[in-house]
Amino acid sequence: MEASTTPQSGTAGKMKFVVGGLLIVAAVIYLIVSSTQAGAQYFLTVDELNAQSQDVIGRDLRISGAVIGDSIEYDPQSLNLTFTVAHVPGDNNEIEAQGGLAQVLYEAVNDPERTQLQVVYNGVKPDLLRHEAQAIMTGQIGEDGVFYADELLLKCPTKYEEAVPEQTGT
Amino acid sequence: MIANIGYGILFITLLVSIYGVGAAYYGARKNDPRWIESARLSMLLTFPLITLSSLSLIYLLVTGRFEHQFVQSVTSSSMPIYLRVTALWGGQSGSLVFWSWLLAAFASSVTLRKWDRDREFLPWVIVVSLVTLAFFLILVVFFENPFTRFWQLPGGDIRAAMFQPQGSSLFLPRDGTGLNPLLRHPGMIIHPPMLYLGFVSFVVPFAFGIAALVTGRTDDRWIRITRRWSLVAWLFLSLGLLLGGRWAYDVLGWGGYWGWDPVEIAAFMPWLTGTAFLHSVMIQEKRGMLKRWNMVLIILTYSLVIFGTFLTRSGVLSSVHAFAQSAIGPLFFAYIGLTFTISLALLLSRWDELKAEGEMTSLLSREALFLLNNLLFMGILVVCFWGVIFPLISELVTGQKVTVGPPFYERATAPLFAGLLLLMGIAPLAAWRHSTFKTLGRTVWKPSLISLIVPVYAFIRGIHQPAALLGFWLAAFVAFVTLHEFWRGARARAKRSGENLFTALWRLAGRNRRRYGGYIIHLGVVLMAIGIIGIEIFQVETQGTLAQGEQITLENYTLTYNSLAVFDTDDGRNVARAVIGVEKSGDYVGDLHPRRDYYLDSQQPMTIPGVRSTWEEDLYVLLVDWQPVSTNSATFKVYKNPLVNWLWFGGLVFIFGTLVAAWPDRDPEPVPVRKKKSSYAAAEA
């Protein structure tokens, strides 16, 4: 018979691995849950923000909208940037149904009835910020109804492959 | 004409692929080598076919044939020839063709190897490769066709279609839109191909894994065959990620290199499972364990590769990268679902046969630490996946779309990455099979103590952030242990063979490339970690508007705004270029030239920083705005990024290490024959 110098095997040995594994899983779950609570941002359209504005004051929000070029005001000295965005539907299916993102953005900035939102941001004006661009802003809505953005993201323009290019002379 | 040929060839390739799948499957079932050979030939045939089709597309791009929709959208007459070639992957449909071409190339080269010992794998490798290829070809042929042309209908409308609509005539646009200037940077030109190379080459080990499951050859043969493939795939994927980060830093002008954007994460996730896989297979080769893990990891890597391609193509998630919406989203989803389910089903059918050949007895043994390694990588993967999926789930469950940003990812993954760093230092010290806290502690305490010098030194120098100190300690610990491994091995060999230390080291690494290449990679990771700690924790910035001659300071740097020149270039840009004089601690160290390019045809501005790079830090200056006529003043944003060049240098070391590990060994490797337990018992009885 072999002398028993080997460490415990069988179910007892397996247990410590199961427990160890569960501990890691628990740690990961804890990390995910706590970080989600700390970092969750509500993704709203301009219309939705308008409807819920009182409820979401003070919360971290992420808003998407179509930039109205004329409204862009930028002071390069103080890096104060303000502009207005128009409501753009958030649902991709709705966007597709209305003719694609480029079409939707075009309509949003030209529709006088569209809900608009004023945005204030302090920082370098992004290169992509221009008329009909889609802006995604993270920040908070103030009591004054103005959106104070901490972060400003503009959608990469490879999206805007023109459906119909300019005419050529014959 | 060319478009019709190109499209027609793609359609034929699709038919050839479908035939190949059928022939391989039938040949395997009926055990008929003729059908299998036919399938192999059809696999080989796809490569020249797709090459022809791709060449025709490239021809259209280079000759500026703007009547083709794809050509019109990604090229313009002001673009130089080489850029027009690279525009192939500048748009959705072209990049799918490129993906298919790479897959045909790799799958074909796999079928050209010697199959003598592994005949039973061949048909299934062909099936998996051709099914994947067929899927991408279906996408191109039916949904994202790069060969569609513009037609002017009788009513005056313009429509894009493959075949000429009734009564219409070909419509020739004046010029193309051109590739987005942001994509014309050299880093950006090779970043997509590198990622695709990485994605596509992972299909090969997956194919062999599936072949192993189907044929029941669940030993490590499939792993040994694909060892180099996996490493090369991983090399390309790592390179693609590094290039993406470098490009973001150089050109996007926000002073950073990784934004936890969903598309960045999409490429990162297969890298995570791929890295875990590369480590985990070593345990299967050495001790016949973690077999189920390896199958799970390669199946996940394949699914994540397709998922990664899907995320960048379908517009499902909002991201600065997201490409246009199209019908291919649901198709990708269906394909991933189907292949994942079938792979899992195969895995479950062979579950018992994948039982470990040995038993893991100690939590601190080397095998157990590799298991922990897998768990940590999976943990990071789950965090990333959760972050990416969360908006979709929250919308489904609560009706409200909720997203998480970089703080989520950083907070949740930092401890896990720290754990991985710690493992890199401890695992080489851990013994196989049996290891207790005491035995491991005996080997660990010395390097831990010695490496403590680094954080103590940092503390004395004024660094008090606990995260930074811990990070530096871990980095020093891993560096010490790893370098000690080189030292130990070289010294032992030198004693035995009488060689001097350097020759011993060279020969040692040469004989054991995977191991020592791996250690070099770990050293690269340590350097990158140091760089990341520097820039993430210690970055400082300032901004201000200066009149000519005025100064701005950031810590010990003084910047003087000297002049600004505005001019047009030959390639269609209007450039504003500032000259900044830089003084560090009172001494003049040179000039920087931050500039603003404005691409006239696409009306796209691009901010290029002026950067002064040293080992200590980067001084990173952006020209934000200027008043050309009236006050001649300009606005600048200045960053100081400490240690960031350790990140890039570490990346180079990392790549070098991978090349060392992947380089073919001089001697062919012996294939160990492992005796099965049952035969032992029979012999003893």
pLDDT digits 0-9 by tens, A15-69:
888 898 999 999 999 999 988 887 777 778 888 888 888 888 878 888 889 999 8
- Enclosing domain of residue B197: 180-354
> Dihedral of CA B88/B328/B378/A8: which sign?
negative
Q: Check whether B566 has a pLDDT greater than 70.
A: yes
Of residues B632 and B674, more confidence is placed in B632
- Tens digits of per-residue pLDDT, B378-391? 999 999 999 988 88
Burial of A157 (0-12, 13-18, 19+ CB in 10 A): buried
- Looking up residue A50, the CATH number of its domain turns out to be 2.40.50.140
Q: Are residues A108 and A127 in the same domain?
A: yes
Q: What gap in Å lies between CA B659 and CA B611, rounded to an integer?
A: 30
Task: Share the mean pLDDT of chain A.
Answer: 79
Is A96 touching B (CB cutoff 8 A)?
Answer: yes
On whether residue B660 sits in a domain, the answer given is no
Of B203, B361, B358, B379, whose CA–CA distance to B284 is shortest? Answer: B358
Judged by DSSP in three states, B142 sits in helix
Interface probe for B, chosen from A156, A162, A166 (most Cβ of B below 10 Å), is A156
Burial of A10 (0-12, 13-18, 19+ CB in 10 A): exposed
Is B403 in contact with A36 (Cβ distance < 8 A)?
Answer: no
Q: Are residues B195 and B293 in the same domain?
A: yes
Judged by DSSP in three states, B680 sits in helix
Q: What gap in Å lies between CA B189 and CA B179, rounded to an integer?
A: 11
pLDDT at A170: 26
Q: DSSP code of B665?
A: P
Q: What gap in Å lies between CA B638 and CA B592, rounded to an integer?
A: 12
Of B374, B377, B370, whose CA–CA distance to B286 is shortest? Answer: B370
Q: What kind and span of H or E run contains B12? A: helix B2-30
Q: What gap in Å lies between CA B24 and CA B21, rounded to an integer?
A: 5
On whether residue B497 sits in a domain, the answer given is no
pLDDT at A121: 93
- Looking up residue B302, the CATH number of its domain turns out to be 1.20.120
B561 in Cβ contact with B547 (< 8 Å): yes
Is A64 in contact with B543 (Cβ distance < 8 A)?
Answer: no
Task: Share the mean pLDDT of chain B.
Answer: 88
On whether residue A165 sits in a domain, the answer given is no
Of residues A87 and B680, more confidence is placed in A87
Q: Are residues B219 and B92 in the same domain?
A: no
Is A161 in contact with B182 (Cβ distance < 8 A)?
Answer: no
Is A124 in contact with B411 (Cβ distance < 8 A)?
Answer: no
Could you tell me which chain A residue has the CA closest to the CA of B321?
A156
Interface probe for A, chosen from B434, B438, B543 (most Cβ of A below 10 Å), is B543
Q: Are residues A17 and A70 in the same domain?
A: no
pLDDT at B324: 40
Residue carrying the six token digits 């805007």: A160
Could you tell me which chain A residue has the CA closest to the CA of B391?
A43
Flag the least confident range among A77-81, B394-398, B604-608, B669-673. Answer: B669-673
Q: What gap in Å lies between CA B247 and CA B241, rounded to an integer?
A: 10
In chain B, pLDDT over 90 holds for what percent of residues?
59
Locate the DSSP E strands across B528-603. Answer: 540-547, 551-554, 557-568, 573-584, 587-592, 595-599
Q: Are residues B71 and B219 in the same domain?
A: no
Q: Are residues B184 and B279 in the same domain?
A: yes
**Whether the predicted model's global pTM rises above the 0.90 cut:** no
For chains A and B, count residue pairs whose Cβ atoms are closer than 8 Å.
Answer: 172
B163 in Cβ contact with B143 (< 8 Å): no
Q: Which two tokens stand for residue B504?
A: 């011993």
- Enclosing domain of residue A18: 10-40
Q: How confident is the model at residue B40 (pLDDT cuts 50, 70, 90)?
A: very high
Q: Check whether B604 has a pLDDT greater than 60.
A: yes
Q: What are phi and psi of B114, to 5 degrees?
A: -80, 125
On whether residue B576 sits in a domain, the answer given is yes
Q: Are residues A32 and A93 in the same domain?
A: no
Last residue of a domain, one of B97, B124, B145: B145
Could you tell me which chain B residue has the CA closest to the CA of A152?
B320
Calculate the alpha carbon distances from B74 to B78, B80, B177, B205, B316 in Å: 12, 13, 6, 34, 23
Calculate the alpha carbon distances from A53 to A46, A49, A117, B156 in Å: 10, 5, 11, 47
On whether residue B477 sits in a domain, the answer given is no
Q: Are residues A94 and A133 in the same domain?
A: yes
Q: Are residues A35 and A48 in the same domain?
A: no
Closest chain B C-alpha to A80 CA, distance in angstroms: 12
In chain A, what residues touch B624 (CB-CB under 8 Å)? 76, 79, 124-125
pLDDT at A159: 44
Q: Which two tokens stand for residue B672?
A: 């160990």
Q: Check whether B551 has a pLDDT greater than 70.
A: yes
On whether residue B218 sits in a domain, the answer given is yes
On whether residue A138 sits in a domain, the answer given is yes
pLDDT at B602: 72
Q: Are residues B1 and B126 in the same domain?
A: yes
Q: Are residues B222 and B100 in the same domain?
A: no
Q: How confident is the model at residue B675 (pLDDT cuts 50, 70, 90)?
A: low
Q: Are residues A58 and A35 in the same domain?
A: no
Q: Check whether A8 has a pLDDT greater than 70.
A: no
Q: What gap in Å lies between CA B288 and CA B282, rounded to an integer?
A: 9
On whether residue B286 sits in a domain, the answer given is yes
Q: Are residues A30 and A58 in the same domain?
A: no
Q: Are residues B630 and B575 in the same domain?
A: yes
Q: What gap in Å lies between CA B657 and CA B235, rounded to an integer?
A: 10
Q: How confident is the model at residue B411 (pLDDT cuts 50, 70, 90)?
A: very high
Q: Are residues B286 and B221 in the same domain?
A: yes
Last residue of a domain, one of B87, B118, B145: B145
Q: Are residues A129 and A67 in the same domain?
A: yes
> In this structure, what is the dihedral angle of CA atoms B533, B535, B539, B545, given to the nearest 10 degrees?
180
Q: DSSP code of B143?
A: I
DSSP per position, B426-467 = HGGGSPSS---HHHHHHHHHHHHHHHTHHHHHHHHTT---HH
Is B372 in contact with A24 (Cβ distance < 8 A)?
Answer: yes
Q: Are residues B231 and B284 in the same domain?
A: yes
Average pLDDT of the residues in B158-163:
85
Is B363 in contact with A41 (Cβ distance < 8 A)?
Answer: no
Q: Check whether B225 has a pLDDT greater than 60.
A: yes
pLDDT at B259: 86
In chain B, what residues touch A138 (CB-CB under 8 Å)? 405
Judged by DSSP in three states, B110 sits in helix
Closest chain A C-alpha to B516 CA, distance in angstroms: 30
Q: Which two tokens stand for residue B241?
A: 């990620």
Average pLDDT of the residues in B508-526:
92
pLDDT at A5: 43
- Tens digits of per-residue pLDDT, B105-116? 999 999 888 888
Closest chain B C-alpha to A165 CA, distance in angstroms: 6
Q: Are residues A141 and A61 in the same domain?
A: yes
Average pLDDT of the residues in B584-609:
86
Nearest by CB to residue B407, choosing from A32, A38, A125, is A38
Q: Are residues A154 and A77 in the same domain?
A: yes
On whether residue A4 sits in a domain, the answer given is no
In chain A, what residues touch B409 (CB-CB under 8 Å)? 35
Average pLDDT of the residues in B626-637:
72
Is A27 in contact with B379 (Cβ distance < 8 A)?
Answer: yes
Q: Are residues A72 and A99 in the same domain?
A: yes
On whether residue B83 sits in a domain, the answer given is yes
On whether residue B573 sits in a domain, the answer given is yes
Judged by DSSP in three states, B265 sits in helix
Q: Check whether B99 has a pLDDT greater than 70.
A: yes
**How many CA atoms are closer than 13 Å to the CA of B427, on its beta-carbon side?**
23
Q: Are residues B226 and B312 in the same domain?
A: yes
Q: What gap in Å lies between CA B164 and CA B148, rounded to an integer?
A: 10
Q: Check whether B256 has a pLDDT greater than 90.
A: no
- Tens digits of per-residue pLDDT, A118-154? 999 988 777 778 888 889 898 999 888 899 998 888 8
Q: How many domains does chain A have?
A: 2
Q: How confident is the model at residue B629 (pLDDT cuts 50, 70, 90)?
A: low
Q: Check whether B347 has a pLDDT greater than 80.
A: yes
Q: How many domains does chain B have?
A: 3
Q: What gap in Å lies between CA B499 and CA B497, rounded to an integer?
A: 5
Is A6 touching B (CB cutoff 8 A)?
Answer: yes
Last residue of a domain, one of B320, B354, B388: B354
Flag the least confident range among B12-26, B84-98, B290-304. Answer: B84-98
Flag the least confident range among B20-34, B509-523, B660-674. Answer: B660-674
For the beta carbon of residue B613, count every other beta carbon within 10 angstroms. Answer: 13
Q: Are residues A85 and A109 in the same domain?
A: yes
Q: Are residues B245 and B322 in the same domain?
A: yes
